[in-house]
Amino acid sequence: MIEEAVDNRLSIIKSIAERIGEDKLRLDNELLLEYSRDRWAQGISSIAVFFPETTEDVSIIASFLYDNDIAMVPRGSGTGMTGGCIPLDKAVIISFDRMNRILSINKSQMTVTVQSGLILEDMQRAVESEGLFYPPDPASADICSIGGNISENAGGLRCVKYGVTGDYVLELTVVMPDGTVSRFGSHARKDVAGFDLKRLMIGSEGMLAFITEAVLKLIPLPESAISYKIFFRTSQDAVLLLNRIFMIGIIPAKAEFLDISCLNLIAKKFAFKFPEDAGAALLLSLDGSKSEIAEYEKKMKPLIENAVYVESSSGKSQDKIWELRTQISPSLKEIAPIKINEDVSVPIDVLSDLVRFCEDLAAELGLVIAVFGHAGDGNLHVNFMITEEQKDQAKKGVELLFCETVRLGGTITGEHGIGIAKAAYAGIRLDPVVLKVCREIKRVFDPKNLLNSGKVFYGELHERHLTGRII
């Protein structure tokens, strides 16, 4: 009976390919396996992978699959960190790799219209050549896709001043699980006609509908910028400086924090030297007009005179300062066989409390916990660097971290999403009323529960999905 069901599904899948083009379907095992993983884990190998090129293609694929009760999973570039795009059961992957075009750049309207598979950095370069600016910049900008960014409401280094992906989405073309096509939002900067369904799609982790096109808001490209690399004796000193910068009316474009564990790791991996009495670092970027930058420099001078070490630069030489930030991930990969990367977020006035808690937690559990991230908006990456034998301790540490984060008024994820990785902890952040409403919304969009089912808190979760990586 199982073999008959598989044969029937393959027959339906091949009939779809006959409609949209057989070159848009792949069935080879190696590719199926590749497209069933993300940066967090390996899922169950998919039945097939479709590569649509238009919204109409996606509509046809979804309609056939939905009518025949075949599960489906949307996929961008697979750069997610929580298992959001991996199949948990036998499903068809719908990849947006080929939907990667810029459809228009409207300079007078200051918008760009794109297909959802477009790589973020490619779009940023295109709009900057027109003197325009799209600020959201997750670390994977060179490989992540716009649709994935919208589905996760991706953040990045520039969130402190410019906000996250969702702040730039004006209109979305979507395909419902049953193949119906609609547009949520409009080109207008202000639009309050009806419920804001566009906002429901932002951060929905691919569980409500397929995003095929997006109209994104742009702003003028900043004229100038200056970057600082500042070392401090303690983590608390670094956070205190950031608070003082805000208080005098400066909002940095970027504000990144690195604790002593990160500095030691980078020093070991890249033969990097930092002051012996340094216990943390803050990387800052300030942008604006040339006159604004000159004013910022004057205001910054008295604030940083007591730091352990300060370096500043402008123009292309700023890249040297930001190398320190890009060196963290490759350094972490070499010190432990397992890295558990959590992206908790708290109000900025209690950021120092969270940093102190992480330091105490590492000492209490006897684990290496490296902390870095977007200090300007309270979103820190807390990395548990462990061995196989330390998994139970790390699991305890993650739960304690989440509970403390929520106690401080924060959340268990600032930009990675919940996916599968944090599904077991969703109830720490979300109360039963919120969970119930979210499940009901899922049912309205997807009554058969065929689209990216089993993720977060929207559908039933099997016990094996809550116990760690799916290998």
| pLDDT, tens digit (0-9, with 9 covering 90-100), for 288-327 | 999 999 999 999 999 999 999 999 999 999 999 999 998 9
pLDDT band, residue 193 (cuts 50/70/90): very high
How far, in Å, CA of 425 to CA of 405, rounded?
A: 12
Using pLDDT thresholds of 50, 70 and 90, give the confidence band for residue 4: low
Tell me the HSE value of 405 on the side-chain side, using a 13 A CA sphere. Answer: 28
Q: List Cα–Cα distances, 131 to 104, 202, 220, in angstroms.
A: 15, 27, 6
Average pLDDT over residues 226-252: 95
Give which of 66, 149, 170 is closest to 453, Cα–Cα: 66
pLDDT tens digit sequence for 322-336: 999 989 988 888 888
Report the amino acid identity of residue 63. Answer: S
Q: Any residues with CB less than 8 A from the CB of 354 and at least 6 apart, and which?
A: 344, 346, 378, 380, 404, 405, 408, 410
Distances from the Cα of 330 to the Cα of 335, 346, 371, angstroms: 10, 26, 15
- pTM as predicted: 0.92
Joined together, the tokens standing for residue 292 give: 């604004």
Give the chain's mean pLDDT.
92
- Residue 432: the pLDDT is 87
Q: Identify the pLDDT of residue 269.
A: 87
Q: Any idea how long the chain is?
A: 471
Inter-residue long-range contacts of 460-463, CB under 8 Å, 24+ positions, other chains counted:
461/423, 461/424, 462/88
Q: Quickly state the pLDDT bin for 6 (edges 50, 70, 90).
A: low
Residue 312 confidence (pLDDT): 96
Q: Is the pLDDT of residue 257 over 50?
A: yes
Q: Return phi, psi of residue 285, to 5°.
A: -130, 130
Does residue 172 carry a pLDDT above 60?
yes
Quote the CA–CA distance of 254 and 196 in Å, as a whole number.
30
Q: Which domains, and CATH codes, for the chain?
A: 2-95 (3.30.43.10), 102-220 (3.30.465.10), 223-335 (3.30.70.2190), 337-416 (3.30.70.2740), 426-465 (no CATH)
Beta 92-95 vs 48-50: how paired, if at all? parallel
Residue 467 has pLDDT above 70, yes or no: no
Q: Which of these, 347, 349, 344, 348, lies nearest to 369 by C-alpha position?
A: 344
- Structure confidence at residue 371 (pLDDT): 94
The pLDDT-based confidence of 268 (bands split at 50, 70, 90) is confident
For the ranges 56-70, 81-95, 319-333, 356-370, the lowest mean pLDDT is seen at: 319-333
Q: In this model, does residue 463 exceed pLDDT 70?
A: no
How many Å is the Cα radius of gyration of the chain?
23
Rounded to an integer, the average pLDDT of 10-20 is 96
- With a pLDDT cut of 70, the percent of the chain lying above it is 95
- The predicted pLDDT at position 427 comes to 87
Q: What is the mean pLDDT of residues 108-118?
A: 98
pLDDT at 459: 40
User: What is the model's pLDDT at position 215?
Assistant: 98
- The mean per-residue pLDDT over the stretch 108-124 comes to 98
Q: Which pLDDT does position 457 carry in this prediction?
A: 63
pLDDT at position 336, please? Answer: 87
Q: What is the pLDDT of residue 329?
A: 83
The per-residue pLDDT for 170 is 98
| Alpha-carbon torsion (462, 379, 112, 146), positive or negative | negative
Q: Work out the percent of the chain whose per-residue pLDDT is above 90.
A: 84
Q: What is the pLDDT of residue 334?
A: 81
Reported confidence tier of residue 252, pLDDT bands at 50, 70, 90? very high
Residue 398 phi/psi, 5-degree rounding, is: -65, -45
Average pLDDT score over residue span 109-114:
98
pLDDT digits (tens, 9 = 90+) for 397-427: 999 999 999 999 999 999 999 999 998 888 8
**What per-residue confidence (pLDDT) applies to 89?**
86
Pairing of strands 72-75, 92-95: parallel
